[in-house]
Amino acid sequence: MRRGHHERRKKLSLFRLINRLLFLGIGISLLFALLRFQDMDEDFLTFISRGLGVWTSDLPKVSVDDWELILVNRSHLQEESHPKLTQIDDIQVDSRIAENTRQFLAAARAIAPGETLISGYRSRAEQTELYEEALALAEEGLSRQEAEQEVQKRIQLPGASEHQTGLAIDMSEPEGQNDEVANKIAEIAPKYGFILRYPEGKSDITGVNFENWHYRYVGVESAQYMQKHHLVLEEYLALLKESAR
């Protein structure tokens, strides 16, 4: 009789433990769901990097100050940088990533022969012109504020575009990138130091809607780490900063 009572107590304790773990998991999930609606400043991104539970023991030996990890977005505007450029097909890129870009393009064409470099380096003046043209079209039937909100989902503000660094490329088939091809190319990109900069499900962090054609050079080690841990550049830099890199 005593043994049966003891067994029931053990089962009850186990049941309570499982319930507590479930409620804890639900609570954490709800907390992060609420936090995703907050403004993404650097302190909050640092908090996110802790919450991700990413192991830092295999972090690449890189620094947030390395040239290939420069952060350019609406919170980190860049002045005209005038990088040394190299022509590849119809675009230009920072000369330091020219060979990696050629190799990445060749690998992408092995998957889909029609892959083309659509865009590379753009000056701030060119970005301004592109932005203003899109804004003028969007303003037809919308207020200025509504037009700006709509355009900024697709085109970055002057100073907020990575294309000004010469470290970003747009690569696609001329008729558009289908999902199967895009996934295969994104999978091999880190081998050449590139990441898909604006992946699906991360627009609340990057500020940009999903783009399956926009790649950013960050270096091979960083790109492979980011892919392994499903990080975007903002999250990766926050993690490096938290690790005093």
CB under 8 Å, gap of 24 or more: what pairs does 205-210 form?
Answer: 205/40, 205/45, 205/48, 205/232, 205/234, 205/235, 206/73, 206/232, 206/233, 206/234, 207/40, 207/73, 207/74, 207/152, 208/73, 208/153, 208/156, 209/153, 209/154
Q: Which H/E stretch holds residue 117?
A: strand 116-119
- How do 116-119 and 91-94 pair as beta strands? unpaired
Catalytic-role residue among 211, 221, 234, 235: 211
Which residue intervals of 189-219 are DSSP H helices? 203-206
Instruction: Reply yes or no on whether 150 is catalytic.
Output: no
CB-count burial class (<10 Å; 0-12, 13-18, 19+) for 189 = buried
Residues in the chain: 245
Contact 64, 237 (CB under 8 A): yes
What are the residues whose beta carbons fall under 8 Å from the beta carbon of 217, sequence distance 6 or more? Answer: 68, 94, 97, 100, 101, 167, 168, 169, 193, 194
Contact 192, 103 (CB under 8 A): yes
Residues identified as active-site = 211
